[in-house]
Structure 1
């Protein structure tokens, strides 16, 4: 449906630059607005002065990280049609005059977005933004969980290196900071000499049958005591930070479960249950998919078409670069949502332990000479196909026919 006003909005962290056009492409107004209520009100005043009627207005906004979300939510509330476009798509739709320009600035980008809306509006209807505040909350939670987990992983690596310096013999009995009980024991006894002084019953309670060997190694540590004492304060600081982050991580996971159980709508809860019915998907991976699955993806075509589009949306579709005699390797595009890609990779790796058919497929491909990661990406595609099948059919995986999944 043709709109009388088209607004292009280029979003940045601190605000927007916009251009308002009429249906014939005549610029009516342009300017900038800060990311604040004052900035938003100045933008709406400019729209009112240009004669904009929200219900007959198309707004094309570039989806830049999450900066566009507050603007989209407020403009949808006003009654405007808002299309949130991926920057890669907007780049492809730029006019030739704009695509070859020497300079890039926000004013030109907002002009290009309004031009895209005027010329391609009818074709871009599938990018219409719908209010998704509950989903934004879940997306924020799973992204925060990933950030905390990454920090924890880095601290475990740093602490592991320091522990290897202070007590190198621990590798023999496979003890380290990933062992929660031993990590907490180190808070009370952070040097080999202090570990050797602990009662046998306490060591046995923490490390079981390894207690006797642990004491022997602590009594005969290769690292001189002055060095182990020099490492003590740093090791304690790292362990305390790991413990603190682990508590935060557990709290985040409880909050995600609570959100899915109480705050999310019934459809989201059912979606999680359906995805968890697939071998390899659990309490950590299923919420990530629910958080980032696009609204209305079921209407994207046949199941095969939906799988192909979601594969591109999540960024593990194949991509080849060729030029003349140069033939690049086929790699995944990595242009989509990284956190979903990681979750699908983890779920696909786990699915081999729970699904004999996928394990058989993995062994077959490895025997043919395929690289481990290449086969896992094949499994990601197969598991995405299963996700689409359970959600389209609204049946748990074990109740699906082989042909449906």
Structure 2
């Protein structure tokens, strides 16, 4: 039997089922695939998957399991397989979509998607997935719940204003709306308190949140929301990937003489963009680095909002840098960096002059 170089299991995840495709890469660089009927996305389905894997895989070759991040539906199988000792890769949907577009495949089914994920595991070098800590998962859940309640509060506030301004306003209906609004305010306050307590119990997380809060304009809620939504930047390896994850990557539309509008893609985490909107407005007033950056961009943009979005992107990357390097914000960093570059340039000029003379 021909020796296998790599083997990869692609799992297309839906709410109820898992579509499976097991791929092998031989020494002749030929790919072969085995399929299996869909299994249920629950404990019995996971056990059935394990039985099939033990019969089908080559125990002498490492197995890579690839799946796409699909909200919460992939979490069960990802944690189950990781706990069993398998190497699991959870891919962001944007990267999977770009890879699928590179294939000569016009149809789209669950079976084809699982085969495509298996092929991706055979062809590419992929970073392994590690389960985030329970604190970060709870922080993300609380952040999402708070975001939902904020939207509900806005709706109730608008409804209350409409009823009170109406000629035929109903006093009892207005009272009910006020009670609902008061309940929402109370629940939002409780969630924020719970977020504070959750982080205060973890010294490492508390310290790292402090690094982000050292940035002028960043509050505890803003920092906690960004950390919760990125799960501590667990799957982020560089600033470019982070910008794409949050939907701040730039989209150009140009062809020949046609010059379309340049904008951000917004194909990312909208919760992060919402969490950074108000902090960015504060930063352009009180943050010395970002204020200078905003004032330099604003005159060149048709709308001030474009420059403000650029500030949000820069602010997010700054938070990522402080988190990874475990450093406190330094307002004079840019100035020191420029002075260092000038000093190095002066040394180079002196060296060149000495060599010439």
- TM-score, length-scaled by structure 2: 0.83
Deviations 1:367-399 (A, max 9, x none): 455412101112113323432443344221147
- Residue 149 of structure 1 deviates from its aligned partner by 0.8
Q: Per the alignment, in what secondary structure is the counterpart of residue 333 of structure 2? A: coil
SS in 1 for 2:261: coil
State the distance in 1 between where 2:281 and 2:57 align: 56
For 1:20, the equivalent position in structure 2 comes to 22
When structure 1 is superposed on structure 2, of 335-344 and 323-332 the one drifting more is 323-332
Give secondary structure in 2 for the equivalent of 1:397: coil
Query: Match of 2:113?
Result: 109
Corresponding residue of 1:254: 193
Q: What are the superposed Cα offsets for residues 226-272 of structure 1, whole Å, 9 maximum, x if unpaired?
A: x24xx22221222111111111111111111111111x4x3322211
CA contact (8 A) 2:68 2:90 kept: yes
What does residue 154 of structure 2 align with? Answer: 153
- Matched residue count: 327
Q: Tell me whether 1:9 sits opposite 2:8 in the alignment.
A: no
Give 1:200's aligned residue: none
1:215 paired residue number:
none
Partners of 2:60 and 2:227 lie apart in 1 by: 31
Report the CA distance shift for 1:108/1:358 in structure 2 as closer, same or farther (over 3 A).
closer
- C-alpha offsets along residues 128-186 of structure 1, whole Å, 9 cap, x if unaligned? 21011422221111111101111111111111111122xxxxxxxxxxxxxxxxxxxxx
Question: For residues 197-208 of structure 1, what are the structure 2 equivalents within 5 Å?
Answer: none
C-alpha deviation, 1:48, in angstroms = 2.0
Structure 1 residue corresponding to 2:92, chosen from 79, 86, 94: 86
Match of residue 142 from structure 2: 141
Q: Deviations over 1:53-106 (max 9, x none)?
A: 59821001011122212211111111111111122222222386x5432x3210
Does residue 284 of structure 1 match 2:221? yes
CA RMSD of the aligned region, Å? Answer: 2.5
Deviation at 1:352, TM superposition (A): 2.5
Matching residue within 94, 118, 123 for 2:122: 118
Of the three residues 28, 51, 55, the one matched with 1:49 is: 55
State the 1:325 CA deviation: 4.0
* Whole-angstrom distance in 2 between the partners of 1:252 and 1:136: 14
Rounded Cα–Cα distance in structure 2 between residues aligned with 1:77 and 1:3: 25
Which residue pairs with 1:390 in the alignment?
Answer: 322
Q: 1:65 — aligned with what?
A: 71
Match among 238, 249, 274 for residue 317 of structure 1: 249
Q: Which blocks of at least 5 consecutive residues in structure 1 are unaligned? A: 166-222, 301-305
* Aligned CA distance change for structure 1 residues 359 and 119 (closer, same or farther; 3 Å): closer
- Distance in 2 separating the partners of 1:114 and 1:51: 13
Q: Contact (CA 8 Å) 1:55, 1:79: kept in 2 or not?
A: no
Change in Cα spacing, 1:129 to 1:286, as seen in structure 2 (3 Å) is: same
Q: Distance in 1 between matches of 2:221 and 2:270?
A: 15
* TM-superposed deviation, 1:276: 0.3
Stretch deviating more after TM superposition (325-334 or 315-324): 315-324
Whether the 8 Å CA contact 1:280–1:354 is kept in 2: the answer is: yes
Counterparts of 1:292-331 in structure 2 under 5 Å?
292=230, 293-295=232-234, 297=236, 300=237, 306-331=238-263
Task: Give how far 1:400 is off.
Answer: 6.1
Q: Show the counterpart of 1:219.
A: none
CA distance in 2, matches of 1:368, 1:95: 36
Number of the residue aligned with 2:41: 35
- Cα offset, 1:5, TM superposition: 2.9
Any idea what SS the aligned residue of 2:226 has?
A: helix
Which structure has the larger Rg? 1
